[in-house]
Amino acid sequence: QKEVEQNSGPLSVPEGAIASLNCTYSDRGSQSFFWYRQYSGKSPELIMFIYSNGDKEDGRFTAQLNKASQYVSLLIRDSQPSDSATYLCAVNVGGAGNKLTFGGGTRVLVKP
Amino acid sequence: DADVTQTPRNRITKTGKRIMLECSQTKGHDRMYWYRQDPGLGLQLIYYSFDVKDINKGEISDGYSVSRQAQAKFSLSLESAIPNQTALYFCATSDPGQGETQYFGPGTRLLVL
């Protein structure tokens, strides 16, 4: 079982709709959770991070964390064609190996 | 100026050649990382360094070596390049004050013939 799992997609979303992306993780000790956006051939860019259960909003993006169920999700409201990219979920387990583990990414296509 | 830079941005080499990819950062972070990414796949950790004297293997270190010359510089070497090392390579730094948020360089596209 992979430590961080994402549906590879593509997730096709009409312009203006809400895109919903999910990520599950295996280690209950995970402490911090990140969403990155990556355009084809470019480097990942941080969208947001979340530490606590619940929702965190930043502009059109909302991250939702549920530690009991071991998932983190990302909502993109009012999706735009420029949101078409691959979205990477990353988890920091913490402890001595304090580094991020990345999921395989979900490709999102926003259609005009 | 970019906070994390990588050189070269593109490289074509032949099987068996030794090559070095370089990474420099001005973010002042102690922690640095090297990843590879194959088309359509996620990031795989090659090596990471938590400070100048600390080097650790990642998931896929075989065939690679690293050197941490200074806090700001972390180099990745392919001792004898092979075609399946053709990939996109990213350097990153992290900020422990932000839960290890990672900041990526622009990447090096490597083709091994």
Interface contact B99-A41, CB threshold 8 A: no
The predicted pLDDT at position A34 comes to 94
Please check whether residue A88 is in contact with residue A36, taking contact to mean a CB–CB distance below 8 angstroms. yes
Interface contact B105-A32, CB threshold 8 A: no
The predicted pLDDT at position B95 comes to 82
A77-94 core/surface letters (b: 16 or more CB in 10 A; e: else): eebeeebbbbbbbbbbbe
Contacting residues of B for A102, CB less than 8 Å apart: 42-43
The predicted pLDDT at position B11 comes to 97
| Closest residue in chain B to residue A99, using alpha carbons only | B100
* Residue B88 contacts A, CB cutoff 8 Å: yes
The predicted pLDDT at position A96 comes to 56
pLDDT tens for residues A57-96? 999 999 999 999 999 999 999 999 999 999 999 998 766 5
The predicted pLDDT at position A92 comes to 87
> Which phi and psi (to 5°) does residue A18 adopt?
-95, 130
Distance CA B58, CA B67 (A): 14
* HEC-encoded secondary structure of A73-112: EEEECCCCHHHCEEEEEEEECCHHHCCEEECCCEEEEEEC
pLDDT tens for residues B53-107? 999 999 899 999 999 999 999 999 999 999 999 999 999 998 877 777 899 999 9
Residues 55-84 of A with CB under 8 A from B: none
> Which phi and psi (to 5°) does residue B47 adopt?
-145, 155
Instruction: Report which of residues A99 and A38 the model is more confident about.
Output: A38
pLDDT tens for residues B12-64? 999 999 999 999 999 999 999 999 999 877 899 999 999 999 999 998 999 99
